[in-house]
Structure 1
Amino acid sequence: MSPPIPEIAPLIALPWIVRLRYGLAAAVAVLVGAAQLLLDIELPWIPMLALAGVIAASNLLLQRGVRVPALSNSSRVALAFVLDLLCLTGLLMLSGGPSNPFSLLYLVHITLSATILTKRWTWFLGILATLCFGLLFLVYRPVPALEMHGHHQGWSLHLAGMWAAFAVAAFLVALFSGKISELIRVHEESLHAIQSELARKDRLASLVTLAAGAAHELGTPLGTIAVVAKDLEHYATQYTRDASLAEDCRLIRAEVDRCQAILAEMSLRGAEPVGEAPARTTAAGLLRDLGGGERVSVEFDSGAREAPLLVPCRAIRQAVSALIKNGLEASEPRGRVRLTVKRRDRQLSIEIADHGHGMSADELRRVGEPFFTTKPPGQGMGLGVFLVRALAERVGASLTYTSTPGTGTTATLRLQLAEGEVHAGARS
């Protein structure tokens, strides 16, 4: 599976957020001083400067990258915004409440959160800002110079309208900015998926090149072994009359011939990038003669046996055989593997279930990576599942794994069904 996309947006925006918060703290100090000295407005400057100091102190921690292991970059920025909203509410309560024109600063944090944070954090900050703004109507220190609406018994209709307008504005900013931000994230995810796909294809191309090169390089030593085995067989037959030695030599030559045939096929595959052409067949025809003997039981659901397919038959058959081989190796020496074929809508599911030790959650996440294997050292290179998954992606199929530790593992290969039915002569 692909790794999660890093939280790039909060990381990129962090320097600007630090500057904004320092600017907010400095602006509070300047405005308090200007109100006292130039406008002759009495304000509780000590608690207001204390709130500005809280913003500056928390900003220093944010700038230095003081990390809490349980918090991501997105959560750290979001918590800084929460603190800003609470401090801004306290400052406005001490300086006129809703009549203070700087109450519109609430929208800055909502807009920033919609741009760089997740949708959940954006809605949370929007609701928090709306509640804090509403609290200003109930608890605040009046400033006569800022009172524009006069005093009334109970609620002021104008102030209630301002609150409603603020709530609507917060909703629209969160909605549209959040949608744009979501589209940007979808674009980033698609780019990451394309990069991952290109990386997988590069690894597959490297493996094909490696296989072709290995087939070429191993040809000479295998030929030498075959010649020596033939000479040794001749010696055992004509001179020593050792039938056992002659039989061993014939076995060596047979295995060398088998290796040479496999290497020749590998070399041909490496020279043919297009691969095997798809052919029409049925599920029963595709899964004929898979091997495994009595240790493999094959079951077809109703309607699955004659399900029409248009696939590269030899490649898919080899892929299923590789999955069966993995299941047999994961099981006990006499353990069985169950192959179940199911037809669901426009898909054919081929499930290979073993009764081995199973895989942990971490192993399930890594299964399919090249050179990753759960087999003991020396018993596998970790390329089988990777190649099967690469083949499945190339033909429009999918390969998934489910497992319970201590119970077993199930590999599911899903193939798309072909249109129409398959004629009797095309079921190879």
Structure 2
Amino acid sequence: MSLEYIEICPDELRKQLRERGLTHADLASMLGLSTKSVQRWLNQSIKRMKIENLEKLAKALNIDKELITKQRVPFRPSPLNRSFEDLCSEHLVYAMAANEDWKIYASLLRSYGPKQLPSVQEAYLYKNLGIASLRLGKMNAAKVYLDKAVTLSESNGDYNLLMIALTTHQDRCHMIGDYKAGIHYYNKATEILPKITSDKIASLYLARTGKFFTQCGRVDEAVFLLRRALSRYYKTDTPNVQFIAFCLSYLTWAYLRARNYKLARTTAKRALRASHRAGWIRGQSLALYTLGILTYLQPEGRELRDKYFGKGRAIKRHIPNRPIDAPIEKLEFLRHCLNQDFEKAKNSIVWRLKKSRRSNLYFSYAILDALFLAKLDGGVQPIRSTFVDRAEEVFTRMQTADALEALKFLKSKSSITQEDLLKYFVF
């Protein structure tokens, strides 16, 4: 006897009964079941049935069983694998995010065969493999894993897991510069938001959407969503300081992009404290670099500039496995330009272009910054027009108005000043 369970479509089954003039009792009699069992199928008190019963039902109605099948994903009610459950725990996933040990984590996940796990855990396997692949810059693999996680979570009716998979998809879309697809996943996530039972998952939706909107230049919406994410997350029973640090870092970046330097400074200090508590090295370095850059943009704290950058660089040396999105390098590039250290700025750009080739969006930002450098320092080799056109295409697709404005300004000038750099620089 098969242990596979298949989810049926109650609307289609109801339609088939109506067309044949059959009542619930008639169908129950044909199958040798109670009328209550048929009613449970139709009102979805029971969402799935054994494949043997599905075949009997299809034979009784003289139809193809695929016609009344809602999801063709087999459901395996096997016992939960406890070691795998520990591997996918919230605490361990956040620890991997803090230490950026995604390569090791992906290897551990792959040691579990998908078919050896129950359907519920198989969905978590694909979701976590999708997240790990995304952080390693493997965009195509991330899409494959996340698509499987979406299909399984929809089949299992696990809306919390579905929300994580959809928002991770949204994160992937912003990295590859696909605004249309990102909005598609945002809309799907928004549709299921009322069904989310966990405040932590709802906060994750708000935070990732805020991050997505920041990169699209929709900073007012981003700030609103990120503040809501923090407000809602603080109300949970066991808030994770790592998530708080992530949110504060995203919020700092949104304030920078909105040119609200006062709030950016305040939030960066909060992000620094949260990152320190969470042991998130990259977050600490990013917050220190942000505070250092703000000393160029505001009169306050200029005496602390060397301290911020010195400490930020010292911590940065301990960051493992640098990912393709490198906001620290972007801030370091800006600092070199403001200090007129153009050779170091050039080296920073070369490194970013090399590391961000898998991400259309971050590659385009690196091209934009390279154009800033070329206009600041006449000795730097001009950027290829094909690269500039590619960046413009990505910014147009992502609808990033501030990046397009900066690009248009730079293309119209033969040279620029530091004041122009600070005015048009896109954080």
TM score, norm. by length of structure 1:
0.25
| TM, length-normalised to structure 2 | 0.25
- Greater strand content: 1
Question: Which structure has the larger Rg?
Answer: 1
Structure that is richer in helix per residue: 2
